[in-house]
Amino acid sequence: MKKWYICPYCKKKKLIKYSKDAKSQGIFLLCKNCGKEVEIKINNKE
Ligand SMILES: [Zn+2]
């Protein structure tokens, strides 16, 4: 099942979709709603 990574600043814009076993760091996306650069941090520890 995939989840949406929501912008942590405005909490409105869906930035990217990721699966539950995804891992990510050092990836930046520009939120088109609030204009901030958001680092996508996904770390699922099992
Ligand atoms: Zn935003």
Give me the pLDDT at residue 43, please: 85
Structural domain count, the chain: 1
Cα 24 to averaged position of ligand 1 atoms, centre (Å): 19
Quote the ligand 1 centre to 16 CA distance (angstroms): 12
Instruction: Enumerate residues 6+ apart whose C-beta is below 8 A from 14.
Output: 4, 5, 6, 7
Look at residue 44 and tell me whether its pLDDT is greater than 90: no
Distance (Å) from CA 10 to ligand 1 centroid:
4
pLDDT digits (tens, 9 = 90+) for 1-41: 899 999 999 999 999 999 989 999 999 999 999 999 999 99
Write a three-state SS string for 10-32: CCCCEEEEEECCCCEEEEEEECC
Domain span at 32: 2-42
DSSP label at residue 41: E
CA 39 – ligand 1 centroid, Å: 11
Query: How many angstroms is it from 6 CA to the middle of ligand 1?
Result: 8
Residue, of 46 and 16, whose pLDDT is higher = 16
